[in-house]
C-alpha cells in the first residue's frame, strides 16, 4: 500500500469515529420541491403588486393635485383644517349653461355646510334661492335688496359668501362652486347614486317612484331640478338636492370609486371651483370623515311675498335666528342675536305694515325701507375668500 492510499484510509477511519455528516444546510438541494417554487412565484407577484399599487397611488395623487391646485397654486393646508377646527363651506350650484342660459348665471343651489371633527357632526342648511337679502358685492359698492341667488351674478362666489354670511351672522371659511352641467357626469363617474324618492313623479322624460331608487346622471339632474310638481315647491327641491349631494360625496370617497378617478379629475378641473387646496381636501377626507356619518339637514323657511312686482321669499327673524344658532353651535361659537338689514326690515314691516308671519297668504304690502340698508363698508361681513381667511364674524 502506497503512502497516498494509507492517508485516505486513515482519513475515513477518523471521519467515521467523529460521526461527521454532510452539511445539508449549505449544500445545494439535490431535488427541487414544488412548494418552494410556488412560494417564490407568490412572493414575486406580491412585490409587483405592491410596486404597481404605489406607482398607481402616486400617479393618482399628482393627477388630483394638478387638477385641483393647477400650476403654481397654493398647495399648503389651511391652518384651520390642519388644526382640526370646525369649518364652514358654502356650496353653490351654478346654473350657467342650463335651460338655454349663456350668461354668468345665478346660484341655483345654495347650501351652507359645516363640519366639526371633535363632535363628528356636520350640518347642511339650504337657503332658498329666492330669499330676500341685501346683496353684497365688492367693498364700497352698494346693491339692492333682492333674491339671494343674484349675488353670484353680481360678484361670483365672493359676493355670495359675503351675502350669506351677513344674512345669518356666521363666518364662512371656504366655498365650492359647481357648474350644474357637471352633475350628470359626476353621478355617472361614481357609478350612480341611491336616493329615497319622497313621492312618484315624472320630469324631463324621467320617471321616479316613491321609495329607494338608483339614479344615473341624467335621472339625477331631472330629480334635483323638478320644482313645480313638488307639494313643497322649492323646499322639496332643496331636500332632493341635499340627498344627491350627500350621496355623491359618499360615493366619491368610497374605495370602489378609485378606478374612476380619471373621470372625476377631468370633471373637477372643468366644472368645479374652490378655495380649498388639494392638501385641504386630503386632510378633510382623513380627519373629518366621521362628520359625514352624522349630518343634520335643514333649511330656512321663507314666506311668499310680492315686492315691486317680483315673487320673493322673505325669511322671518325667527327663521334666520334659528339657522344662525344651529350653525354657530356646530362651529363652537356662542349664539349671536341677529341685527342686520333683513331683521331691521322685518321689524319695520311688522310695526308699520302689520305683517303677520302666520298668515298663509303671500305678503303684498312688504316694503323695502332703503334708509336702513347698509353698504358693505359698514357691514361686518367684509372679508376675503382666500383659503386661510374667513368671511364674516
Would residue 266 count as lying in a domain?
Answer: yes
88 bridge partner residues: 114
Ramachandran assignment for 274, one of left (phi > 0), alpha (psi -120 to 50 degrees), beta (any other):
beta
Return phi, psi of residue 124, to 5°.
-135, 115
Residue 202 falls inside a structural domain: yes
Cα separation, 167 vs 345, in Å, equals 12
Alpha-carbon span 382 to 393, nearest angstrom: 9
Residue 211 domain flag: yes
pLDDT the model gives residue 393 = 61
Q: Does residue 125 lie within any of the structural domains?
A: yes
CATH code for position 109: 3.40.630.190
Tens of pLDDT along 332-343?
Answer: 999 999 999 999
Would you state the pLDDT for residue 163?
Answer: 95
Q: Is residue 361 part of a domain?
A: yes
Residue 51 counted as domain residue: no
- Quote the CA–CA distance of 62 and 318 in Å, as a whole number: 47
Domain annotation covers residue 68: no
Task: Output DSSP code: residue 80.
Answer: H
Q: What is the mean pLDDT of residues 259-275?
A: 75
**Cβ atoms of 390 and 114 closer than 8 Å:** no
In a domain, 30, yes or no: no
How many domains does the structure of the chain reveal?
1
Write the pLDDT tens digit of every residue in 68-105. 555 445 567 789 999 999 999 999 988 655 444 444 56
pLDDT at site 347: 96
Domain span including residue 321: 75-378
1-5, 155-159, 219-223, 312-316: lowest mean pLDDT where? 1-5
Lowest model confidence (mean pLDDT) among 143-147, 220-224, 305-309? 143-147
Q: What is the DSSP letter of 305?
A: E
DSSP state of 290: G
pLDDT digits (tens, 9 = 90+) for 188-204: 888 899 999 999 999 98
Distance CA 374, CA 311 (A): 23
| 8 A C-beta contact, residue 178 and residue 93 | yes
Amino acid at each position: 500500500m502506497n503512502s497516498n492510499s494509507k492517508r485516505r484510509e486513515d482519513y475515513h477511519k477518523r471521519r467515521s469515529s467523529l460521526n461527521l455528516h454532510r452539511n445539508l444546510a449549505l449544500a445545494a438541494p439535490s431535488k427541487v420541491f414544488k412548494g418552494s417554487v410556488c412560494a417564490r412565484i407568490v412572493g414575486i407577484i406580491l412585490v409587483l403588486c405592491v410596486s404597481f399599487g404605489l406607482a398607481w397611488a402616486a400617479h393618482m395623487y399628482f393627477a388630483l393635485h394638478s387638477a385641483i391646485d393647477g400650476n403654481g397654486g397654493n398647495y399648503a393646508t389651511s391652518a384651520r383644517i390642519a388644526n382640526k377646527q370646525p369649518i364652514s363651506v358654502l356650496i353653490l350650484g351654478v346654473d350657467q349653461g342650463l335651460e338655454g342660459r349663456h350668461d354668468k348665471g345665478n346660484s341655483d343651489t345654495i347650501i351652507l355646510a359645516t363640519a366639526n371633527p371633535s363632535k363628528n357632526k356636520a350640518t347642511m342648511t339650504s337657503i332658498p334661492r329666492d330669499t330676500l337679502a341685501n346683496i353684497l358685492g365688492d367693498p364700497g359698492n352698494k346693491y339692492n335688496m333682492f333674491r339671494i341667488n343674484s349675488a353670484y351674478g353680481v360678484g361670483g362666489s365672493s359676493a355670495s359668501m359675503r351675502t350669506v354670511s351677513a344674512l345669518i351672522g356666521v363666518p364662512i371659511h371656504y366655498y365650492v362652486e359647481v357648474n350644474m352641467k357637471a352633475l350628470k357626469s359626476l353621478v355617472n363617474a361614481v357609478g350612480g347614486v341611491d336616493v329615497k324618492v319622497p313621492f312618484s313623479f315624472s320630469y324631463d322624460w324621467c320617471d321616479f317612484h316613491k321609495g329607494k331608487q338608483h339614479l344615473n346622471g341624467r335621472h339625477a339632474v331631472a330629480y334635483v331640478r323638478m320644482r313645480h310638481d313638488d307639494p313643497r315647491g322649492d323646499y322639496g327641491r332643496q331636500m332632493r338636492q341635499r340627498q344627491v349631494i350627500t350621496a355623491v360625496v359618499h360615493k366619491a370617497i368610497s374605495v370602489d370609486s378609485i378606478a374612476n378617478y380619471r373621470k372625476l379629475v377631468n370633471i373637477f378641473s372643468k366644472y368645479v371651483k374652490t378655495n380649498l387646496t388639494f392638501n385641504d381636501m386630503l386632510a378633510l377626507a382623513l380627519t373629518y370623515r366621521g362628520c359625514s356619518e352624522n349630518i343634520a339637514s335643514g333649511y330656512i323657511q321663507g314666506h311668499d311675498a310680492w315686492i315691486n312686482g317680483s315673487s320673493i321669499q322673505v325669511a322671518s327673524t325667527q327663521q334666520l335666528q334659528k339657522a344662525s344658532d344651529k350653525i354657530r353651535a356646530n362651529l363652537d361659537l356662542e349664539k349671536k342675536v341677529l341685527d342686520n338689514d333683513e331683521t331691521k326690515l322685518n321689524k319695520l314691516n311688522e310695526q308699520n305694515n302689520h305683517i303677520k308671519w302666520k298668515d298663509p297668504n303671500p305678503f303684498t304690502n312688504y316694503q323695502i325701507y332703503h334708509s336702513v340698508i347698509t353698504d358693505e363698508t359698514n357691514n361686518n361681513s367684509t372679508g376675503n375668500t382666500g383659503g386661510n381667511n374667513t368671511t364674516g364674524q
